[in-house]
Amino acid sequence: MRFPSSKVIPRYIVIAIVFIATAVAILAKAGYTMTVERKYWTTVKDSSNNRIITIPPSRGNIYADGGEVLAATVPAYDIYLDFMSYEKDTLNRRKKDQHKRDSVLYAKVDSVSELLAEVLKDKTAEEYKAHILKGRENNARHLKLNGKRYINYTQYSQIRSLAKIRWFNFNAEKHIRRCYPYGNLAKRTIGRFYAGKDTAMYGLEVGLDTILRGTPGKEIKEKKYNSTVNIPITPVVNGCDVHTTLNVVMQNIVEEALREKLEELSAEYGLCILMEVETGDVKAITTIGRAKDGKYYPIQNWALSQRLAPGSVFKPMSFLVAFNDDKIELNTPANAGNGTHKFYDRTMRDASWRNGGAGMITVAEAIERSSNVAVSTTIDRIYRKDTTAFINGIYKLGVGEDLKLPIPGYAIPKIRPRMWSGTTLPWMSIGYETEIPPISTLTFYNGIANGGKMVRPRFVTHLTRDDEIVKEYPVSVIRPQMAKPEAIANIQECLSRVVKGKHATGKKARSEKFEIAGKTGTAQIWSDKGFQSQYIVSFAGYFPADKPKYSMIVCIKEGPGASGGGHCGPVFRKVAENVMALNLSTNYALATDSINAHMPTLSAGDMNAMERILTELNIENDLIGMNDNYYNWGSCNYNNDKAILATENTSGNVMPKVIGYGLRDAVFRLENLGLKVKAKGVGKVTMQSIAPGTKIARNQEVIIWLGNRKGNENDSTMTAQNNKDNPRKGNGNDQPKTKAVNPATPQKNGERKG
């Protein structure tokens, strides 16, 4: 049979033509793609194989003036076990893997549970074992091991480093959180973040947010062969570290002294600012208020943000204007009369009006006695016909300046641009008709202490990045000379007499160790319904009076019986004495006793502080168990001439041992565990109501006793209670109760004085 070539060959030809045409079409399309569409497909390749990612910067730290960390960004972790990730698709393989992993699980669960209990310290080994086995029974994909609290990097590393935990499919979620090692110390000035958000709420965290935050970087993750290459586009710029003027020790002194007085008076709130005279550096600042539970906590920073009627602390400003205009001298007569004086239909009264008043006195004595009548009649006599000169004089002093502070929400003084009535001038001269935030009042007194040179309050000295200075903030001068040197000297003399004079209203601010100068103030609070029976009392001044180093203002809001000198003066004196004690120079070489040498005794507590002290004293020390936490707790023992610092770090819901701690370290550590602390006595902690190692819960109360015995009758809680039970006595400087009126309208009754 002949091959039917006439039929078959045409078919093969058709097939060949189709293949050839297809090949040509493919080659043509490939050529078209490689040439005409080259740019388009390159873009497609880049978009599919490459991915642009954003690299977040590290937020800068905030430091105190001594280098202590006030705010820092630290890693924190949640750790989990996944019991299902190793199971395969096929049923037989899944069962085989399940059996193998379960064998490891039951063999290792005891040792792993013991490790977790030792590292995390929030559950016992038995509780961890039950927790893990229950998770396996439920085929948990995300069994959380730590409780509500994150664990730190050291704890995470300890757990991750164990090979046996890898059989459990251990994984972790990393979080970045803001850490404040000193707790609530200077809380409102440093700032805080909204919970779970990358947004600051207040303080320097907000005011310097762009500086602290830095600039994100970008890079391309490009796939090449079997690997991924990161190609930088823009580099990440980490945030700057902010170095503040705040002093940790001084801040603690200020807060403790103010809180103690507030508890004694059961006052609504109080504030205090401590400033360095020459530089304007704010060393400490706080506003503390009473909460619903009756305890005192940091509240809104009213030291900066609240405008207040200054009261009698304004009187030196009034007389400085007159001194500068050569209208008065220290011995110029000032008539206090019988303690009352009528300006149109309003009556001005002194505290001594019931005793017949002070009569004819001098200008210097008017400030010393804080006489409303003497000050207001003198200023009214001089400037009644030219009130604009008085107001301009106040502005020339720099009192009304915008201080341009780095903390958002600060207030600007409100001073009347003109007189509204014939009574405005006399009442303005004694501290009404104006509203000035405490920080501005202090800036004035700091200028007086500085010989007339008014400097701007400074919160930040410089910025650094990678230990290199990026920017410096020099001392900023508002007024090189507020007034004539002779006028400044006159006011300085008046302020000294307020504390040490025969008729001193600020005698309770007097110190036996050095001289203090300042002015008392009491201002009745005004509302839409008239004057309230509440007062802002204050004491503003500087110390030492002969060579001023620091200036300070203390303000307290309280009810009837309030007294600036009687209540704020003691706080001023206590802070001043403690701060000056810090400045005493010590020559350790001269103090060395080579014959009877002995090592210093250190309280248990903050290990970082112990290390700094020992290093400063040139004592060799060895650290045992220190980790990268900002808090390390423990005690100090000696081996011959070497100090051994051994840590005792606990976490979670276990009560630590605080016996041997000082009050500050004990309260700080226990409150960070969520406990409510009551302290009794003075000295070191000798007893605690909850035994070390006991499980604790948040908001649980713990009592610590300080000193040598339990139940010290002079403990702080009893003192506070006694003061609540005993009515406060007003001093001779208190005003009688008067009918409430609007300060901008005629008033028939007198004003309180500072």
Q: Got the DSSP string for 554-577?
A: EEEEE-TT--IIIIIHHHHHHHHH
Of the ranges 12-16, 144-148, 739-743, which one carries the lowest mean pLDDT score?
A: 739-743
407-418 pLDDT, tens digit each:
999 999 999 887
635-656 pLDDT, tens digit per residue, is 777 766 677 776 676 656 788 8
**Per-residue model confidence (pLDDT) at position 226:** 61
Per-residue pLDDT, averaged over 619-647, amounts to 67
H or E stretch at 751: none
Residue 529: the pLDDT is: 54
728 token code pair:
């406060």
The answer to which of 227-236, 557-566, 721-730 has the lowest mean pLDDT is 721-730
Would the pLDDT of 526 be above 80? no
Please give the average per-residue pLDDT across 715-739, as a whole number: 37
For CA atoms 127, 133, 139, 144, the dihedral sign is: positive
Handedness of CA 672, 678, 682, 686 (dihedral sign): negative
| Averaged pLDDT for residues 238-246 | 96
Per-residue pLDDT at 451: 97
Does the structure show a pLDDT above 90 at 150?
no
Return the closest-CA partner of residue 487 out of 294, 344, 328: 328
- Label the pairing between strands 642-647 and 621-624: parallel
What does DSSP assign to residue 501? Answer: S
Which residue in 598, 304, 364 sits closest to 498, CA to CA? 364
CA distance 462 to 208: 12
62-241 carries CATH number 3.90.1310: yes
Give the whole-angstrom CA distance, residue 203 versus residue 188.
6
Alpha-carbon torsion 314, 318, 321, 324, what sign?
negative
Report the pLDDT value the prediction gives residue 712, as an integer from 0 to 100. Answer: 40
List of residues 6+ apart from 744 with CB closer than 8 A: 420, 421, 424, 433
| Under 8 Å between Cβ of 539 and 509 | yes
3-class state of residue 385 by DSSP: coil
Q: Would you state the pLDDT for residue 366?
A: 95
Find the mean pLDDT for residues 388-402.
Answer: 95
Token couple for 14: 């058709």
Retrieve residue 721's tokens. 């209670």
Q: Output the six-digit token pair for 518.
A: 């300042």
Q: Which two tokens stand for residue 538?
A: 């204050």
Nearest to 751 by CA among 437, 549, 531: 531
What is the distance between the alpha carbons of residues 583 and 578, in angstroms, rounded to a whole number? 9
- Give pLDDT, residue 574: 95
What is residue 418's predicted lDDT score, i.e. its pLDDT? Answer: 77
Hey, CA dihedral for 350, 351, 355, 357, is it positive or negative? negative
Give domain 248-582's CATH number out of 3.40.50.300, 3.40.710.10, 3.40.50.620, 3.90.550.10.
3.40.710.10
Return the C-alpha torsion angle 283, 289, 295, 298, nearest 10: -40
348-362 mean pLDDT: 86
Mean pLDDT, to the nearest integer, of 410-436? 89
Q: What is the pLDDT of residue 440?
A: 97
For every residue of 393-425, DSSP letters joined together read HHHHTTTT-----SSTT----EE-SS--STTHH
Residue 257 has pLDDT above 90, yes or no: yes
Given this model, what pLDDT does residue 369 score? 93
Beta bridge partners of 270: 288, 556
In this prediction, residues 295-320 reach a mean pLDDT of 94
For the record, the structure tokens of 700 come out as 């649980």
Give the confidence band of 750 by pLDDT, cuts at 50, 70, 90.
Answer: very low
Decide if domain 605-714 falls under CATH 3.30.10.20.
Answer: yes
Q: Which residues pair with 335 in a beta bridge?
A: 360
Q: What is the pLDDT of residues 98-109, one digit of tens each?
A: 677 777 778 888
CA angle 212, 218, 222 (to 5 degrees): 155
Please give the Cα distance from 495 to 733 (Å, whole number): 17
Q: In the structure encoding, which two tokens stand for residue 57, read together?
A: 């910067």
**With left for phi above 0 and alpha for psi between -120 and 50, is residue 214 left, alpha or beta?**
left
The 3-state DSSP class for residue 102 equals helix
Average confidence (pLDDT) over 493-497 = 97
Domain boundaries, the chain: 5-36, 62-241, 248-582, 605-714
Taking only the tens place, the pLDDT of each residue in 684-714 is: 888 999 988 888 887 788 999 887 544 443 4
- Work out the pLDDT band at 511, boundaries 50, 70, 90: very high
pLDDT-wise least confident of 208-222, 618-632, 640-654: 618-632
Judged against a pLDDT cut of 90, whether residue 665 lies above it is answered with no
Query: Which residues make beta-bridge pairs with 537?
Result: 522, 556
Q: How far is CA 133 from the centre of its chain?
A: 44
89 contacts 96 by C-beta, under 8 angstroms: no
Q: Quick one: which of 423, 345, 339, 341 has its CA closest to 748? A: 345
Tell the residue number behind the tokens 């009698």, with chain if given.
Answer: 312
Instruction: Tell me the pLDDT band of 276, cut-offs 50, 70 and 90.
Output: very high
Task: Give pLDDT, residue 553.
Answer: 98
Q: Cis bond leading into 544, ω under 30°? A: yes
Task: Give 179's strand partners.
Answer: 72
At 732 the pLDDT is 36
- pLDDT number for residue 164: 54
Cβ–Cβ < 8 Å for 490, 329: yes
Do the beta carbons of residue 525 and residue 531 sit within 8 Å? yes
pLDDT, average across residues 427-446: 94
Higher pLDDT, 549 or 15: 549
Distances (CA, A) of 11 to 1, 6, 8: 20, 9, 5
Closest CA to 517 of 581, 455, 584, 450: 450
